[in-house]
Amino acid sequence: MKILVVGAGFSGSVFARELARSGRCRVTIIDRREHIAGNAYDPIHWATGARYHKYGPHIFHTSSSDIVDYLSKFTDWVPYRHKVRAILPSGLAAPMPINRTTLNSHFGIKLVDEEQMRAFLKTVREPIESPANAQEHLYSIYGRDLTGLFFGRYTKKMWNLELPDMPISVVARLPVRYSDDPHYFNDKYQMMPANGYLALFEKMLDHENIEVQLNTPFDKGMEADYSHVFNSMPIDEYFDNEFGPLPYRSIKFEHRFDEPFDYDVPTVNFTDTGKYTRKTTWALYPGCGGEVGKHVTYEEPCSYEDNNFERYYPIKTIDGWPQRRYKQYEALAKKKENMTFIGRCGQYVYYDMHQVVASSLTIAKRFIESST
């Protein structure tokens, strides 16, 4: 069976590997870019000789041992627990997510345990029993001052939306800390590929039943040559925007070299009204190498139309119109028996890496079983 996979990121590459491994499929995987690995692509920069993540930091984290076991076929790991600081307008670099250290630094107080932190937050939070949007959710935890300081301006830059216009799910991903734990994620497994993501993908796609074609945009005329197409391209683009385009946010990356970096964490967030949301020094990520400050990347959110149609983050709104529009495209997609839309842009959903691997494994297994 001849299979075409569109997109050589996590979703497409997992599909390609599993279908090829079944022994029943010859897989061609194409990508419009000049490289595999999708947005996890982490080459060596020519100017520094050190690794960096071309499309922004990718930190692997999951609580699923099954996902770790699967990806461990293609890489060894380096333990890594991510830390972030938020740079406040005052210049204070506070731990993010908000924790006890954050409150002590910002308010000039001395909370010493979880009980005291909970008691303090109770004095500043708003008693909203059933929050209706992201702003009310944050008010119910942190109150107005902390919400505005840490989330208000940042959210506006990131999403071009105000907090009341966003669903709770967008901000609920961030854990609430009642201790001085400075780490960003709670997952059981937190680590980075020992030799980088690109090496992981190279090994995943190294199979006799897989052919990789780069610099190859998808064309509908290709469909006739294959029994089935697994397509990670934007679903609205495939259907010629019949119901209108789906909204996304994109990121412009600005690389600077030999810039001082005075923080003990690799990534800092900007909570001011400036155009950048965060900056990263790659030398503080395991496996990247180089000197601290030698290569620093700033991120500026923007409309994907203003960034060569690079789609990064599907947008969710409180009224749900983007998801309703996606459902219209999904209904069209279900009529195409020989095509399955996959991944972030094909399914119009924000996936962490472990989530897209899990989704791809499940759908690939179902397809293989139904084809026997």
Q: CA-to-CA distance for 361 and 106, rounded, in angstroms?
A: 45
Question: Rounded mean pLDDT of the chain?
Answer: 96
Whether 356 and 223 map to the same domain: the answer is yes
Whether 13 and 142 map to the same domain: the answer is no
Whether 233 and 323 map to the same domain: the answer is yes
Residue 297's pLDDT band, with cuts at 50, 70 and 90, is: very high
pLDDT at 371 over 90: no
Q: Which of 172, 190, 220 is the last residue of a domain?
A: 172
Residue 203's pLDDT band, with cuts at 50, 70 and 90, is: very high
pLDDT at 90 over 90: no
Residue 261's pLDDT band, with cuts at 50, 70 and 90, is: confident
Whether 234 and 328 map to the same domain: the answer is yes
> Is residue 178 domain-resident?
no
Whether 225 and 366 map to the same domain: the answer is yes
**Number of domains into which the chain is organized:** 2
Q: CA-to-CA distance for 236 and 221, rounded, in angstroms?
A: 18
Share above pLDDT 70 across residues of the chain, in percent, rounded to a whole number: 100
Q: Could you read off the pLDDT of 326-352 as tens digits, one per residue? A: 999 999 999 999 999 999 999 999 999
Residue 372's pLDDT band, with cuts at 50, 70 and 90, is: confident
pLDDT of residue 344: 96
> Is residue 44 domain-resident?
no
> Is residue 184 domain-resident?
no
Q: Is 69 helix (H, G, I), strand (E, B) or coil?
A: helix
| DSSP classification of residue 175 | P
Whether 126 and 231 map to the same domain: the answer is no
List the one residue out of 294, 299, 298 whose CA is nearest residue 260: 294
Whether 31 and 142 map to the same domain: the answer is no
Residue whose tokens read 């690389």: 255
CA 302 to chain centre: 16
Residue 70's pLDDT band, with cuts at 50, 70 and 90, is: very high
> Is residue 251 domain-resident?
no
Q: Which of 149, 172, 195 is the last residue of a domain?
A: 172
> Is residue 72 domain-resident?
no
pLDDT of residue 173: 86
pLDDT at 59 over 90: yes
Q: CA-to-CA distance for 262 and 259, rounded, in angstroms?
A: 10
Whether 363 and 232 map to the same domain: the answer is yes
> Is residue 328 domain-resident?
yes
pLDDT of residue 89: 85
Query: 33 and 215 in contact (C-beta within 8 Å)?
Result: yes
Full residue range of the structural domain in which residue 17 is found: 1-36+205-241+319-372
> Is residue 120 domain-resident?
yes
Whether 217 and 324 map to the same domain: the answer is yes
Which of 57-66, 156-165, 261-270 is the least confident region? 261-270
CATH number at residue 369: 3.40.50.720
Whether 323 and 235 map to the same domain: the answer is yes
Whether 118 and 1 map to the same domain: the answer is no
> Is residue 332 domain-resident?
yes
